[in-house]
Amino acid sequence: MKLTILGCSGGIGGDLRTTAMLLDDDVLIDAGTGVGDLSVSELTKIDHIFVTHSHMDHVTSIPFLIDTVGWMRRKPITVYATGETRAILHEHLFNWKLWPDFAQIPNADTPVLRFQTIEEGIPVALNGRVITALPANHVVPAVGYQLDSGKASLVFTGDTTTNDALWERVNTIGNLRYLIIETALSDRERALAVASKHLCPSLLADELAKLTLFPDIYITHLKPREADLIMEEVGQRVAERHPKMLKNKQVFEL
């Protein structure tokens, strides 16, 4: 099982792309601007999209993906989301005003897009890969994901802040190899991090103190305006964990 990072920034510009990860060649974990770097041929292979939450930096490529390759495929692309996130996407994105409802095109019986509701803690098995939604704490309904090959697991927190429920679950993952965790803002913007339900380095340190396992840790979703400062502060706050900045095109083998 291979996970390729297509986007991991909290913004755009130059080579920066927002959150998107490609699992093998047929599964997306979120669909931010990084999806746009895939070729049309690569896009046609995507069968499944697992969404952490409804914010645009995580879903912006879904409408363009469907519009581009939906007609080139023999089966619909399936978007997996919680009931709350699914309702938001229907009301505010696929609503015929901002974008057509592709779950009804060309008709409701044979659409190019279908939704499947997921629930926290309930695994979804896809050809030997198991994807499980984990608790997240954000300003909209949100989840993270555990990706499990059987040999090893990777946890992606999605957008979240202080979240005891997450660590209760993560600490039970015996084969945890990698943790990708957001730290969107620096400590000088701690008040904004609290208000927007993101992490800053001091909050990250509090959260990692709850982690009893020792995976390799990667920091994602840094705001471009202070990415270097964030990583400097992260290094000071959790030096013993040896965290690294997640990078575009990075590949994880599980």
- The predicted model scores a pTM of 0.97
The span from the CA of 91 to the CA of 54, in Å, is 11
Q: Which domains does the chain have, with CATH numbers?
A: 2-253 (3.60.15.10)
pLDDT digits (tens, 9 = 90+) for 189-237: 999 999 999 999 999 999 999 999 999 999 999 999 999 999 999 999 9
pLDDT of 114 reads 97
The pLDDT assigned to 162 comes to 97
Q: What is the pLDDT of residues 127-173, one digit of tens each?
A: 999 999 999 999 999 999 999 999 999 999 999 999 999 999 999 99
